[in-house]
Every structure is written in C-alpha cells, then in structure tokens.
A and B are shown apart, each in its own frame.
Chain A
Amino acid sequence: MQDFSYARATSRAEALALAAEGDTAILAGGTELLNWLRIGIAAPGRVVDISRTPGMDGVEALPGGGARIGALTRLNDAAQHPLIQHSYPVLSQAILKSASAQLRNLATIGGNPLQRVRCPYFRAEEPTPCNKRAPGSGCAALHGFNEKHAIFGWTEDCVAVQPSDPAAALAALDAVYVTERRDADGRRIPARSFHVLPSEDPTAHTVLEPGELIVSIEIAEPATRSAYLKLRERESYEYATVSAAVVLDLDGEVIRRARIALGSVAMRPWRLDEAERRLQGQRLGGPEVEAAVDAGFAEARPLSSNAYKIRLARNAVLRTLNLATRAS
C-alpha cells in the first residue's frame, strides 16, 4: 500500500474542511477504502479519518413519522435499531444480508452506497480495459465474464452493477441522502438517483462531488409492509446475483401503491416504474400482478452470459411482493 498522510477530524466542520482539500480520500468504516488503496483503485496523498466525528451517528425518529440515520452509524447498529427493525424491515433485512458480522461492525450506512462495483475487471490488479478504472480504455466485461453484470441501463462503455443491498432498500423507500460541503450548500439527493448510469457517465459511480460528505440518510413514513430478498450463490456472506426490495401500501387485498427496487441489476438500484404503475389498484395474488411485473422488465436487455438474470429478477420480485404482504 502506497503511504499517505493522515488526519482525524474532530468536528463536522473540520471533516468538511479536510475533505475539501485536493488529493484527499475520506475514511469512515474503511472496509472499501483500504482495499482500494491496496489494489490501486485509489492512491490519495492524504486520508482524512471522519469515523469519530461527533454528531454523525445514531438513529432518530423524525417529527413527521420518518427516521434519520447518521451517516457514520455502523451497519449492524442501524439494522438492529428498534425503529429500523419495526418500521423499515426492508432496510434492516437488506443491511443484515450485507457482508459479514465483523464487516458490519466497521462499515457505515453512509459509506455503504459509496462502494465501488465488484466487476472483476474493475478490481483487477493488472491493467485491464475498464472505463471506470482508466477512462477511455474500454469495457472488458462487455464480451468477457459478465454472468453477474447488468440487465438494465448498461451501455457498451460499462456493464457493471452497483452491488449495495442497503442502497436498493433505500431506493425503494425513496430515502434521501443529506450532504454537506465546505464551499457550497448541502444537498438532498434522492436515493433512486444517487448512482450514475453509464449513459450519463461511464466513468462515474455516484453524483457526489469531491469533498461532499453524506451526513445522514432520511426516510419518510414507516414502511412496515416491506421486504428484501437477496438471491446469491451462497446462503450468506456473498454479493447478490439479484436482489429485490419491495415496499407495499395496501387497502385490504388491494395494492394502493407498490414500490420495487432491484439490486445488482444495473449501475443504480433499479426502480420498476412501469410495474409499479400497473400494480396500482390490483388485487394481491391476481393474474394481473404477474403481467404488471413483466411489464417492468420490457426494457431489460441481457449481455452474452446473463440472460438468466432477467427471469431470476422477475421471479424475485414476485416472491418479494408475497414476503412484503405477509410482513407487518
């Protein structure tokens, strides 16, 4: 690992000031950054450690009935907080299906959506064509190993997927990433548009600007009828092949509103807008439900080796709708 100089922020103002200096990486949980430094994905001259910045962790209820999660809240603490467990089961489940128990003691809820893609070409230790590692170098996955890659929103410049489980749950919940910056106003960025599709910029990961810090994540009204399903090759401690986050609002047996986000199918959590629109007013378990979900997959496009993911994701949505119906 290339050496760097280090500073630990002792206040939020100091964290923002240090993060705004050039050539500086931000260290929170460290579970991604340390590996980026080892592989060479990042080689900053300076690292600012914000992990102990006061006032940026913990879960609190918002006056209107929502919740605010401090960005530095460790994943295990967020998932096991009573408010998250009871009011937002989709998020608690998504977090607990992420990584391992000891990684979740380090990783933070604000850092998790900033994890980079797991594409083996992006993570390669030898130079390999990858527009996210070396802009303009191409995409080795397009005609290479792409079994786990995108079925939505990919371009020939990048076919990778954003693997975060919590990000998919947060997108289904219409959560908001609250940011602060030293030299500009903070922003409220909707979770569903936080990550950048390759059609917008194949080299980008998120819309965050250099030095911009996520300080908290806010979620609106409780979503007790919600569920997260993660399909993977191992039962535990593995990235998703596909995952589905569903938040339901029911009127008896009738769907008043369904929100569906798929994980690990695109460079951002993929909301099934067309399916959501068609599910409105449908009776649970009725034949129209399958047709509505199918409509959400009209724009799915397979790569050379991942056509199976379309069927897998479609079935995952149907299963998760059932899981969410039974939750309360």
Chain B
Amino acid sequence: MCPEETRFSARCLVRLTVNGQSHELEVEPRVTLLDLLRERLQLTGAKKGCNRGECGACTVLLDGRRVNACLVLAASAEGCAVTTVEGLAQDGRLHPVQQAFIEHDAFQCGFCTSGQIMSALACITEGHTGSNAEIREWMSGNLCRCAAYPQIAEAVAAAARDMSASEAA
C-alpha cells in the first residue's frame, strides 16, 4: 500500500499474491518485482538475465498477463496476483507446458527455460499458436542463447494441442 494521497514515500508496503499465497513486504521504491521474487521470496525460477527487458528470462504472469519482471517496480505490483514457474505444477504433476518442454527437448542449458515456459503458457492462452510462424513471432521476446528455437516452437504447439484437448474433454 503505497501512499494513497499526494505524498511521495521512501518506503512502500507491498501486498501481493504470488502463486496463490499472500505476502506483505516493505520495500524501497527502486526494488523491482524480479528482485522481490528472487531476493525476498526466494523464488529463483524467474531469472535475471539482462535486467533490462531484452532477454525475457524473467517473464512472469502479472494478473494473468506475461510481463518482464525486471521492468516492473514491486511497488507498482501492489494488490496484483503474480504467477511464476514455481506455481505451475499441481499436486506434484508438471503443467502440460512444462511436460511438453521435456518431451520436445526444448532446452539445453536451461537458463531461459522458466521464462520460455511462462511466455509459452501466455502465448497459448492468448491464442497465438495458429502456425509455427505465429508461435515464433509471439515467442520472440524470449531469447535462447543455445538456440533451441525449433524445439521450443514444437513444445508450444504440442502443449497448445494438449491443453485444448483436455479443455474439450
């Protein structure tokens, strides 16, 4: 709860929900959502790659929409719901997108993978998986220095099929 009135504050109280769990933390205004997740909540799934919105390794869902966590101030996320890669598996079972990344060998070193998976989940729910070209375009904000792009696109397409099949069932 940062200042409700016309007052600037040097400390901000931030209340937010992360992977379904409520948190209340005091932060300096300059703390990013990424640093809050990693340093304060020990959720290190979202990676700090470039720390300037270029690589996508820090991609998380903010109120259901994918964003670069390094470009969001924690104070601005007051009252928001955040989903990180740690929040995807349910009851010890991997999310279909996580499963698809394993089955399609969609990573080598793995550094970009949690960002890729969060972005892939959003790409699928946004409905941008109509073709390989569409997947590549809407996944372009996630760089992979190992260049596993063909397998990543295959994993996204497979997860999209899997998720629509289980939705229909």
Residues in A lying within 8 Å of B, measured CB to CB: 1-8, 10, 14, 17-18, 27, 29-31, 34-35, 37-38, 46-49, 51, 99-103, 105-106, 235-237
A122 to chain B, nearest CB (A): 15
B149 to chain A, nearest CB (A): 11
Evaluate contact between A7 and B68: CB separation under 8 angstroms. no
Contacts beyond the supplied A7-B6, A8-B75, A237-B140: 18 A-B pairs with Cβ under 8 Å:
A4-B30, A6-B3, A6-B8, A6-B73, A6-B75, A8-B3, A8-B76, A17-B6, A27-B76, A29-B71, A30-B72, A34-B73, A35-B71, A47-B29, A49-B73, A101-B128, A101-B141, A102-B59
A93 to chain B, nearest CB (A): 12
- Chain A contact surface mostly: mixed
A3 partner residues in chain B, CB cutoff 8 A: 10, 28-30
B67 partner residues in chain A, CB cutoff 8 A: 102, 105-106
Can you give 11 contacting A-B residue pairs, CB < 8 Å?
A2-B30, A3-B10, A6-B3, A6-B12, A31-B71, A34-B70, A100-B56, A100-B141, A101-B141, A102-B68, A235-B136
B119 partner residues in chain A, CB cutoff 8 A: 101-102
B28 partner residues in chain A, CB cutoff 8 A: 3
Evaluate contact between A101 and B122: CB separation under 8 angstroms. yes
Assembled-state Cα–Cα distance A38/B31 (Å): 12
Assembled-state Cα–Cα distance A102/B138 (Å): 9
A4 and B140 in contact, given A10-B4, A102-B119, A103-B68 (Cβ under 8 angstroms): no
A101 partner residues in chain B, CB cutoff 8 A: 66, 119, 122-123, 126, 128, 138-141
Assembled-state Cα–Cα distance A10/B3 (Å): 10
A26 to chain B, nearest CB (A): 13
Assembled-state Cα–Cα distance A197/B53 (Å): 28
Assembled-state Cα–Cα distance A6/B77 (Å): 13
Residues in B lying within 8 Å of A, measured CB to CB: 2-10, 12, 28-30, 32, 51-53, 56, 59, 62, 65-68, 70-73, 75-76, 78, 119, 122-123, 126, 128, 136-142
Evaluate contact between B76 and A7: CB separation under 8 angstroms. no
A46 partner residues in chain B, CB cutoff 8 A: 8
A7 and B30 in contact, given A30-B76, A102-B67 (Cβ under 8 angstroms): no
Evaluate contact between B68 and A6: CB separation under 8 angstroms. no
For A80, the closest partner residue in chain B by CB is B126
B56 partner residues in chain A, CB cutoff 8 A: 100, 102
Assembled-state Cα–Cα distance A167/B73 (Å): 26
A27 to chain B, nearest CB (A): 7
For A13, the closest partner residue in chain B by CB is B6
Evaluate contact between A106 and B68: CB separation under 8 angstroms. yes
B5 partner residues in chain A, CB cutoff 8 A: 10
B66 partner residues in chain A, CB cutoff 8 A: 101-102, 105
Evaluate contact between B6 and A14: CB separation under 8 angstroms. yes
A123 to chain B, nearest CB (A): 10
B8 partner residues in chain A, CB cutoff 8 A: 5-7, 18, 46, 48
A4 partner residues in chain B, CB cutoff 8 A: 29-30
Evaluate contact between A103 and B141: CB separation under 8 angstroms. yes
B15 to chain A, nearest CB (A): 13
Evaluate contact between B73 and A103: CB separation under 8 angstroms. no
A27 partner residues in chain B, CB cutoff 8 A: 73, 76
A35 and B52 in contact, given A6-B2, A8-B75, A106-B72 (Cβ under 8 angstroms): yes
Assembled-state Cα–Cα distance A259/B2 (Å): 46
Assembled-state Cα–Cα distance A103/B56 (Å): 9
A99 and B141 in contact, given A1-B30, A34-B32, A106-B72 (Cβ under 8 angstroms): yes
A35's partner among B6, B29, B53, B62 (CB-CB below 8 A) is: B53
A189 to chain B, nearest CB (A): 27
For A1, the closest partner residue in chain B by CB is B30
Evaluate contact between B53 and A31: CB separation under 8 angstroms. yes
A115 to chain B, nearest CB (A): 12
A19 to chain B, nearest CB (A): 11
A2 partner residues in chain B, CB cutoff 8 A: 30
Evaluate contact between B3 and A37: CB separation under 8 angstroms. no
Assembled-state Cα–Cα distance A314/B22 (Å): 56
A103 and B75 in contact, given A4-B30, A5-B8 (Cβ under 8 angstroms): no
B6 to chain A, nearest CB (A): 6
B37 to chain A, nearest CB (A): 15
B53 partner residues in chain A, CB cutoff 8 A: 31, 34-35, 103
B127 to chain A, nearest CB (A): 10
Evaluate contact between B141 and A237: CB separation under 8 angstroms. yes
B41 to chain A, nearest CB (A): 20
B68 partner residues in chain A, CB cutoff 8 A: 31, 102-103, 106
